[in-house]
Amino acid sequence: MPVDLNNAQPLAWDSATLDADTKAMLDNLQPNILRAHVREHLSVLFVRFNDALEGRAYLRHIATTTMKSARKHLEEVRDFATGRRRGTPYVGIGISKAGYRDLGHSVEDVRKFGDPVFRDGMKRRIEQVADPKVEEWERVYQREIHAVILIGDADPGPVGRLRAEILGALPESARLLGEESGQGMRNPAGDGIEHFGYVDGRSQPLFLKDEVDKEPKKHWDPAFPLGNVLVPDPFAPNPVRHHGSYLVFRKLEQNVRAFKEIERDLADDLGLAGADRERAGAMLVGRFKDGTPVTSRRKASGGPVSNDFTFDGDDGSKCPFSGHVRKTNPRSFGRNVLMARRGQTYGERTDEPWDDSPPEDRPSGEVGLLFMAFNGSLLDQFEFTQQSWANNADFENPATGHDPVIGQGARDIKVTFPKAWGKPEMSVPQGQVAQTVTMKGGEYFFAPSLAYLRNL
């Protein structure tokens, strides 16, 4: 039975009754798509091939010597949980439209990818998402990137060794155009955070029964069909069993100092005092720093970060319609837009991102997010989120403003904020907060099936 990508039932991947096609799908799928792989330390390599045969042989070599399947990853997670042994590093590959051409696929062939955003490539989608001009991107991203290679692990050692091995195997004809390295950051509670100091990566579409079973589901159902991230791999030997996923990569620099000034000024403007001052930033993100949704009044002390909530009944007096998590997942509609985020923070800092140090002590650049997300459709998921929700000041209601975290384009309308949590009194209209996240470049990739890579 072909894998049903629309089945809303989460996948019981280790069930004895799993059908042969689904088993084959898991044996041929890259890890980190259906379930996030540990990538506390992450190396990102951008490669250009220049010779079809050598490029193919190189990818085949990496796939057969360093990559594991999604199923192997899931087994490793299960074994680790039972205290048996720790997992192996993650190696993932994404190929751009230009990469497929350079590997010898014809223009006709590349049309087999259903996603027009992928077929265009990121440089040709600037207008749609209000990205900076390509000339303003970092140099590596201005070039024609053919493939991205991701190497991740809990420790730096294995990442360094694999990076050297993978670069060592690069043929003469190919080039390493550039690279990034990501490193996870955690707050004292042990939760992963981003550079503004907020818990990140909590809300995800979940596809596997063991992950879904662990979540409370009174208000929000985190289970999504496989088609949310998987599409048949058009060039694999058997697209009925062999799947891939569209990967968006964006380097997003964060001006932490400016964001912290904005939080402080907004708290002052609204006259927030004491613990309530934290609500300023929470209204911009939609969650408090510790991850508590701003729809809940008080931060719960300790315990897991909640994801079982909606914005139903909140007219914007708890979480403004512009709040980052409300914009990117309104929760009462647009479920099929949500993507599987797999990014990692980059850049070194000497301060503690979660504490209350003044803005002056914060970095104003050189740190940020290597934003990555897997999609079944870049057009309907990533690009739709950025264009129609984050950049749209009239989203859900007129003049509610851009997403204060990731919104791009002129922020020329005025907005209001609730003065007290859940109360109707609004502030006087004020200019929208300034943009503090800057896109430095990126590309759209397809993470092909292992069956494709092994057969190159």
Active site residues: 213
Say whether 6 sits in a helix, a strand or coil. coil
Q: Which of 37, 3, 418 is nearest to 244 (CA)?
A: 3
DSSP string, 192-235: EE-TTS-B-S----B-BHHHHHTS--SS---B--GGGT-EE-TT
Amino acid at 73: H
Least distance from ligand HEM to the Cβ atom of residue 293, Å = 8
Least distance from ligand HEM to the Cβ atom of residue 442, Å = 10
The residues pairing with 221 across neighbouring beta strands, listed in sequence order, are none
Rounded CA gap, 255 and 365, in Å? 5
Least distance from ligand HEM to the Cβ atom of residue 264, Å = 18
Rounded CA gap, 242 and 235, in Å? 9
Using CB under 6 A as the criterion, which residues of the chain lie in contact with ligand HEM when the complex forms? Answer: 194, 196, 198-203, 252, 254, 285, 287, 324-325, 328-329, 338, 341, 368-369, 371, 382, 385-386, 390, 405-406, 437
Say whether 180 sits in a helix, a strand or coil. strand
DSSP string, 241-262: T-EEEEEEEEEEEE-HHHHHHH
Q: Which of 20, 105, 16 is nearest to 55 (CA)?
A: 105
If the CB atoms of residues 388 and 416 are measured against ligand HEM, the closer one turns out to be: 388
DSSP string, 405-436: TT--S---SEE--BSSTT-S-BPPPEEPPPP-
Rounded CA gap, 119 and 450, in Å? 21
Q: Which residues, at least 6 apart from 19, have a Cβ–Cβ distance to it below 8 Å? A: 1
Q: State the CB neighbour count (10 A cutoff) for residue 420.
A: 13
If the CB atoms of residues 48 and 327 are measured against ligand HEM, the closer one turns out to be: 327
Rounded CA gap, 426 and 421, in Å? 10
Strands 340-341 and 243-254: unpaired
If the CB atoms of residues 67 and 247 are measured against ligand HEM, the closer one turns out to be: 247
If the CB atoms of residues 329 and 377 are measured against ligand HEM, the closer one turns out to be: 329
Least distance from ligand HEM to the Cβ atom of residue 197, Å = 9
Question: Distances from the Cα of 40 to the Cαs of 34, 36, 156, in angstroms?
Answer: 18, 11, 8
Least distance from ligand HEM to the Cβ atom of residue 437, Å = 4
Say whether 147 sits in a helix, a strand or coil. strand
Helix orientation angle between 156-168 and 52-66, rounded to the nearest 10 degrees: 150
If the CB atoms of residues 31 and 323 are measured against ligand HEM, the closer one turns out to be: 323
If the CB atoms of residues 171 and 201 are measured against ligand HEM, the closer one turns out to be: 201
If the CB atoms of residues 30 and 386 are measured against ligand HEM, the closer one turns out to be: 386
If the CB atoms of residues 236 and 256 are measured against ligand HEM, the closer one turns out to be: 256
Least distance from ligand HEM to the Cβ atom of residue 386, Å = 4
If the CB atoms of residues 71 and 342 are measured against ligand HEM, the closer one turns out to be: 342
User: What φ, ψ does residue 249 adopt, rounded to 5°?
Assistant: -120, 125
Least distance from ligand HEM to the Cβ atom of residue 356, Å = 17
Rounded CA gap, 252 and 451, in Å? 32
Least distance from ligand HEM to the Cβ atom of residue 161, Å = 30
Least distance from ligand HEM to the Cβ atom of residue 445, Å = 16
